[in-house]
Amino acid sequence: MIISIKELLNSENYGNKVNVKGWVRTKRGSKNVAFIALNDGSTINNIQIVVEVNEQNENILAKIHTGASISVDGELVKSEGKGQNVEINSIKIEILGESNPDEYPLQPKKHSLEFLREIAHLRFRTNTFGAISRIRHAMIFAVHSFFNERGFCNVHTPLITASDAEGAGEMFRVTTLPAKDAPTNEEGNVDFSNDFFGRETNLTVSGQLEAELAAMALSKVYTFGPTFRAENSNTTRHLAEFWMIEPEAAFYDINDNMDLAEDMLKYCVKYALDNCKEDIEFLSKRLQEEEKTKPQNERSQELIEKLNFVLENNFERVTYTEAIDILRNSKPNKKKKFQYIIDGWGADLQSEHERYLVEKHFKKPVILIDYPKEIKSFYMKQNDDGKTVRAMDILFPGIGEIVGGSQREENYDKLVTRMNEMGVPTKDMNWYLDTRKFGTVPHSGFGLGFERLMLFVTGMGNIRDVIPFPRTPKNAEF
């Protein structure tokens, strides 16, 4: 039976004979005794292997370097040194895989995140990415657990789609047609009738529309899957391939929707604090060392404090119109410090405005509702004022928009009118419109970018560092 290092470190069965396997982080030594810090990814902590140097193991020890994999039979003992409670006195040590120190790029020291991105196949082996990977797993689990506890049914929506009506962004085409000399029709356009699906298909930008179909029977559903956007976005908050959580619930109005989103975010944050303590503490320390280089006033809140703060405070719910008033009367607006000055109603809010509301004015997460209909999607429920729709965006400090959602327009005629106004082709969308034709009900939903949640929980600054193999413009390695 293989015992993980996590279990061994929590064990007090001193004197037990154990076998431990893992990867060497560091080896230190003198003439007579060597110390190996061994990690197997089960925890951020290493177990110390103590090796008495003798003629039999001298050669083996010489081949053990950072990155090598070894198997150790030994005795679990109380540590004689400081820094750890438990360690293993090696009896027999076996090299599973050597690691040439001249070629292995990871050293027992800090590397820049940019460098580690270039060696994403090895960065799992660092403390930082080990911690992030374990937290990512915990967050995936927490999401499913949250919805399961509330009676939501997980639905797998398609990744390949022929619908392009979502309007959420540029799409990646899926085709088996040759890239060179693709067949064309009479108008000179690519003829997709001979393509695999007999029509033009793309990777999905959202599972929302299909989730709505399911919600019209199962009441409460959610999707949690990959999403693809071919936008040429080069920021710390965007990926071309990311994972999105999209609940959709029948009979939920915008307030139920906001409650759901806020509960969910808090549930996940609490789950992380309760279950990933050591990893979060490590990331917090790492972050604070990085912050030391910044001037005092630019330093951000300590990670655990920041997470607790979100748990303990209700998100501020503000209408778009109120937000515009606040911004119009704000100091940076009056002193023309904003790059985009707010002078009237109707403009979309820029990042600087969102940041002002969250970080300066309310100093906590903000939910903005009732946006002008012109700047939002066709499927959002229109308010009685004729100007606004029941949209909600949740804004988080340092991240911006983490959730975007709305109550959906359930009235067939209003929806069709709005689609026509916005140039959304209704003829390809009969399957969607049928939900409003047969037994339509008020319903709501939202989209949560999983990696943005990860950014918040880990405190990392770049979205490319919270997903194992980031896909961004000009980068699809590994």
Partner RNA sequence: UCCUCUUUAGCUCAGUUGGUUAGAGCACCUGACUGUUAAUCAGGGUGUCCCAGGUUCAAGUCCUGGAAGAGGAGCCA
Burial class of residue 150, CB neighbours in 10 A (0-12, 13-18, 19+): middle
- Minimum Å distance from CB 181 to RNA? 25
Nearer to RNA, 102 or 187 (CB): 102
- Minimum Å distance from CB 372 to RNA? 12
Nearer to RNA, 110 or 156 (CB): 110
Nearer to RNA, 82 or 292 (CB): 82
Nearer to RNA, 28 or 363 (CB): 28
Annotate the chain with three-state secondary structure: CCCCHHHHHCCCCCCCEEEEEEEEEEEEECCCEEEEEEECCCCCCCEEEEEECCCCCHHHHHHCCCCCEEEEEEEEEECCCCCCCEEEEEEEEEEEECCCCCCCCCCCCCCCHHHHHHCCCCHHHCHHHHHHHHHHHHHHHHHHHHHHHCCCEECCCCCEECCCCCCCCCCCEECCCCCCCCCECCCCCECHHHCCCCCCEEECCCCHHHHHHHHHHHCEEEEEEEEECCCCCCCCCCCCEEEEEEEEEECCCHHHHHHHHHHHHHHHHHHHHHHCHHHHHHHHHHHHHHHCCCCHHHCCCCHHHHHHHHHHCCCEEEEHHHHHHHHHCCHHHHCCCCCCCCCCCCCCCCHHHHHHHHHHHCCCCEEEEEEEHHHCCCCECECCCCCEEEEEEEEECCCEEEEEEEEECCCHHHHHHHHHHCCCCCHHHHHHHHHHHCCCCCEEEEEEEHHHHHHHHHCCCCHHHCCCCCCECCECCC
- Minimum Å distance from CB 252 to RNA? 18
- Minimum Å distance from CB 177 to RNA? 23
- Minimum Å distance from CB 29 to RNA? 6
- Minimum Å distance from CB 102 to RNA? 5
Nearer to RNA, 39 or 206 (CB): 206
- Minimum Å distance from CB 449 to RNA? 3
Nearer to RNA, 335 or 474 (CB): 474
- Minimum Å distance from CB 381 to RNA? 16
Nearer to RNA, 365 or 447 (CB): 447
Nearer to RNA, 61 or 273 (CB): 61
- Minimum Å distance from CB 121 to RNA? 15
What's the CA gap between 130 and 343, in Å, rounded?
48
Nearer to RNA, 250 or 448 (CB): 448
